[in-house]
């Protein structure tokens, strides 16, 4: 029995003690640095992470600042059923009621000086004719809201060109649309349902030939409010302008179409800029001038000066009356003369941007001359002439 203890038990206990000592050695090394010389630590190499991280963040950060929200407000006339009291009793009838129509959409800044491409149907619809003037406001990515003016439209391709008065804006560069293929990954950026700017991802489903160009079909989710926004590639370059969706429910069903970027940018290349002053005004006839200002003043009274416009930069104020352009005095003796006076003012649109003109103004009972350098756009000198009633308009 004693021999069994000597040859089996004690060696087992000794081995157990040795094993415990070995296991505790790494902890002892942490507390006794001198032991590191005798117990070099083995470097354990971790297996590399083979899971690829796919992200389009850099493309979105590059492109998103150039995508804007558009709010177009116009007054349209809609028929409504009304009940009228007549000598025969209550009768139903239809009357035309003017209502304000709001159209929400997106747009893409395509140059640092404020040119914006969007969809035609964001600005106009079936019940809003082209002739109707619109109040278009642009919400920039940095929070600013600026007025925009319509420069050019292409109804067949569902495109419109707008302009805002701002400089050094972020803008989107065009991709080479000649290299597009079905299966390419694309991203759609816009303001769907007015919830704020957001991004959806998909692929090019097909490229459909149409006339001398083509349209891009994509399965990226395009919802109401995305119209006019950007379809970009994974490098953040502009592929197209989101146009329409094919849907029975009104929401995205994975069939959306975009107009190629080169077709959209051709609006700017083909656009012939005209002079732009940047005021809204109304006609002041000689009769009205004598009645309201006790003076022989006649011309156009400034009711609004657009922000950052040439008029604002030149110092034109609300309430000023434009009485002359360059060497031509405005003569509006009565309502019949308004058309002739308008032709003088509208001649501004025939002058090129950058042209220096001299305006004669009537302000606070005095006449003054003010130099103005015209900007880019369409002339917005007056809105609607008022009919003459008695001695006032």
Interval 46-69: pLDDT, tens: 666 655 678 899 999 999 999 999
Token readout for 112 is: 């640092």
* Fold category of 67-164 in CATH: Thrombin, subunit H (2.40.10)
| Closest C-alpha among 334, 351, 346, 214 to residue 275 | 351
What pLDDT, on the 0 to 100 scale, is given for residue 206? Answer: 87
At residue 109, the pLDDT reads 95
CATH number of 177-270: 2.40.10.10
Domain 177-270 identical in fold to domain 275-376: no
Q: Where exactly are the structural domains of the chain?
A: 2-37, 67-164, 177-270, 275-376
Using the CB atoms, write b or e for 198-217: b if 16+ within 10 Å. bbbebebbebeeeeeebbbb
Residues catalogued as catalytic:
121, 158, 227
Rounded to 10 degrees, what is the CA torsion of 124, 127, 128, 129? 100
pLDDT in the model for residue 198: 86
Sign of torsion over alpha carbons 91, 93, 97, 101: positive
Return the pLDDT at 22.
Answer: 61
Which of 323, 333, 334 is CA-nearest to residue 367? 323
- Give the pLDDT of residue 121: 85
- Rounded CA-CA distance 203/233 in Å is 10
* Low pLDDT (below 70) residues in the chain: 1-52, 73-103, 125-134, 211-212, 246-254, 334-347, 349-350, 377-393
| Confidence at residue 72, expressed as pLDDT on a 0 to 100 scale | 76
Instruction: Output the pTM of the full model.
Output: 0.63
CB 330 within 8 A of CB 343: no
275-376 maps to CATH 3.40.50.2300: no
pLDDT of residue 25: 60
């Amino acid at each position: 029995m004693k021999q069994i203890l000597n040859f089996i038990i004690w060696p087992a206990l000794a081995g157990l003690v040795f094993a415990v000592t070995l296991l505790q050695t790494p902890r002892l090394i942490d507390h006794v640095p001198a032991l590191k010389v005798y117990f070099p630590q083995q470097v354990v190499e971790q297996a590399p992470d083979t899971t690829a991280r796919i992200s389009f963040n850099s493309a979105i950060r590059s492109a998103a600042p150039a995508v804007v929200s558009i709010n177009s407000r116009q007054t349209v006339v809609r028929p409504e059923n009304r009940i009228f009291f007549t000598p025969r009793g209550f009768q139903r009838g239809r009357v035309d009621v003017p209502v304000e129509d709001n159209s929400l959409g997106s747009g893409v800044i395509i140059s640092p000086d404020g040119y914006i491409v969007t969809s035609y149907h964001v600005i106009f619809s079936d019940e809003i004719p082209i002739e109707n003037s619109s109040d278009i406001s642009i919400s920039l990515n940095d929070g600013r809201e600026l007025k925009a003016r319509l420069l050019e439209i292409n109804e067949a391709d569902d495109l419109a060109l707008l302009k805002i008065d701002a400089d050094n804006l972020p803008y989107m560069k065009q991709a080479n649309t000649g290299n597009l293929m079905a299966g390419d990954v694309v991203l759609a950026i816009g303001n769907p349902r007015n919830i704020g700017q957001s991004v959806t991802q998909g692929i090019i489903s097909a490229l459909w030939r149409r006339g001398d160009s083509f349209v891009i079909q994509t399965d990226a989710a395009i919802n109401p409010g995305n119209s006019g926004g950007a379809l970009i590639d994974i490098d953040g370059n502009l592929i197209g302008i989101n146009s329409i969706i094919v849907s029975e429910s009104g929401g995205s069903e994975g069939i959306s179409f975009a107009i190629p970027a080169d077709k959209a940018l051709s609006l700017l290349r083909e656009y012939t800029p005209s002079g732009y002053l940047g005021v809204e005004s109304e006609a002041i006839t000689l009769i009205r001038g004598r009645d309201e200002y006790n003076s022989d003043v006649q011309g156009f009274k400034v009711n609004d000066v657009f922000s950052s416009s040439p008029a604002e930069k030149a110092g034109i104020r609300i309430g000023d009356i434009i009485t002359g352009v360059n060497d031509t005095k405005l003569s509006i003796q009565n309502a019949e003369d308004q058309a002739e006076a308008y032709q003088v003012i509208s001649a501004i649109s025939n002058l090129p941007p950058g042209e220096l003109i001299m305006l004669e103004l009537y302000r606070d009972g005095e006449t003054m001359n003010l130099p103005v350098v015209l900007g880019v756009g369409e002339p917005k000198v007056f809105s609607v002439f008022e009919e003459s009633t008695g001695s006032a308009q």
